[in-house]
Structure 1
Amino acid sequence: MTKVIVATPVPENRKELFTSVEGADITFIDRTNITIDDIKDAEVILGNLPLSLVEQCENLKWIQLDSAGANTYSSLKEDIILTNASGAYGTAISEHMIGCVLMVMKNLARYLDIQKEHEFTNLGSVNTIVSSKVLSVGMGDIGSNFVKKMNALGAEVYGVRRGVHETPDYCKGMYTMENMDEILPECDIVALSLPETEETVHLFNEARLRKMKKGAILVNVGRGSAIVTEDLLKIMREGYLAGACLDVTDPEPLPKNHPLWNTEHVYITPHISGRFNAALTYDLVLNILKDNLVRYLNNEPLENVVNKKLGY
């Protein structure tokens, strides 16, 4: 029997999903209260645990994350297989992104403010998704879901990803990290869904932020490190962008006294666009974990294998 630790929270009525897998000796643990003694004999870990503990598991051969992001585990030994839960979060996070875009385009946050003042005031012109140009920097599960939906709503969409790729039928064009500045100044909406790698850290510094179209909307749901926070503060204080919607920040969590909280037209959510907040997402995560466990026990190729050098 293969010793399997399930660290992802699983309610009693769902545990059979894992205990029914033949060949697996399943142990469910509470990842908020564990020691190395709880996991030291594991060959397989399903779920995210502190790297400091995982590195002490001498028998570990494979860790399946319940997150899409995997850069925290890039220092794992080469012979340990690392897989993520890519494919589970695209729907929920892309819907969050669209909600952010509409909030800015339609002045919804400002209307909420004047509602509190009991004012019946027309704030004037708004923008539409139809005929807008959208650039998704990152075209994995999340980015591709976002541009598919924006295309369906009538936007002209473009994508950026590492290396040269064919243009999907829902995209007007594809760019690389090296030439995305060619399309950046034309876009009304720029959405970031990037992992944290050497290539993506501080990708959007002041110079690149100023290459964006004046009055554009910036959305970041990937990693906060993709944007230089001080540079974003500077251009937002100038009123250069219509809005910056940040589900991730640098630093994170954002300190209570950080000026970003009170900067006009900056909208912050505490890294909640994904997680398990949507029932659909949670179901998809559990199924990814279970299906990959079956593949592992059957000596079949695993889905979502992470390249530890690239971080995704």
Structure 2
Amino acid sequence: MSDILLTGGAGFIGSHVCEALLARGDRVTVLDNFNDFYDPAIKRGNAERLVERGARLIEGDIRDEAQLDRLLVEDAPDAVIHLAAMAGVRPSLLDPLHYEDVNVRATLLMLERLKQRPTTRFVFASSSSVYGANEKAPFSETDDIHQPISPYAATKRAGELHCFTYHHLYAIPTSCLRFFTVYGPRQRPEMAIHKFVAATLERRPITMFGDGSTRRDYTYVADIVDGVVKALDHCAGYEIYNLGESQTVSLAEMIEEVGRACGVEPIVERRSMQPGDVLITYADVSKAKERLGYAPSTDIRTGLARFVDWYRTEGPGASLPKHGH
């Protein structure tokens, strides 16, 4: 049993990670500021369920230094899983300074406190977006990446670099996890799969940017959680791990699979590619498999069926008339 501080624990991935930790007997403190990047009521609903299961909830900001002193120095947790961040490539183009403040400066504030207690394991949520305009696929942790093409991607790479610096100077055991397009129950409403399912079930058009040939390594949330927990348990030294499904699906194929899962033919509106978007994300997960025993197993069809089932029964679509299967 470990005492774990989980930042962003009321969010999509965080709430699933928290459930997994509680289920195995860890004591978890969730820190979340319930910001309005998307409807805070969704995160409050997640948090309520976590508290019922035994989590301790602190409402606060990762930039609040007095609070970080209490949670990281006085409480002295065994580990920190740092998921809290401003998310999203496209929104980061509109407010890069805010992304820098939350994603980089706040991470530094945490590392400054962890150097006083360098036995605390630190798991940092990074992103496949750090690979930027990388033309080699699949993406490997050893790739030379120096071309981030969005402020969000730059902040996540900066976070990894700061983590390395503090590991080098103070021996903080650190794992940086590059998540590849995570989806599943409770997915954020602005993300593509959630938006596409909602639009399809409500008979609204889906906006498809580009010709549908861009490819993503869509990763089901249960597989990501498995990787996060294993990275926590194997956290030693400084390591970067890709966590993806290690299979790519084109945008056009994904829309087709959404239609299949919904039992409804999607209506598609085509638009031009957006700035900051990459042509492909594709994870080489051999390092995570070898070092962590990571074993992603959910193909896109299975994962979408589970998401649509959640959407219709517990999610926003629970009040929709039932169509299809």
| Fold match by TM threshold 0.5 | no
TM-score (structure 1 length as normaliser): 0.35
TM-score (structure 2 length as normaliser): 0.34
Which of structures 1 and 2 has the bigger CA Rg?
Answer: 1
Give the structure with the higher percent helix.
Answer: 2
